Amino acid sequence: MLYLFEKGFANLLLILCQSSAKALAIFCHRIGKLLPLPWQDFAKALARRWQSSNYVNRLLTLKITSC
């Protein structure tokens, strides 16, 4: 029974983190439009790198499974 609770809590935490990440991405996108073009290009390249490496999801998975 406790295992099911922990698994449900981990899933809920993952959903909350994903929705927070989406809200942060939208906010950063809006702020990014105000930057000069060279800074926008830098930010886009950095964002692509983070998305392609899936670093955030791996980090969240590590923290959730280690608890």
Give me the number of domains the chain comprises: 1
What pLDDT does 64 receive? 56
Q: What is the pLDDT of residues 51-61, one digit of tens each?
A: 766 666 666 66
Beta-carbon contacts of 21 under 8 Å, excluding residues fewer than 6 positions away, are 56
What pLDDT does 63 receive? 55
Q: Which domain holds residue 48?
A: 2-66
Q: Which residue has the higher pLDDT, 37 or 9?
A: 37
What pLDDT does 2 receive? 46
Interaxial angle between packed helices 2-32 and 37-53, expressed in degrees from 0 to 180 and rounded to the nearest 10: 160
Report the amino acid identity of residue 51. Q
Does the pTM surpass 0.85? The reply is: no
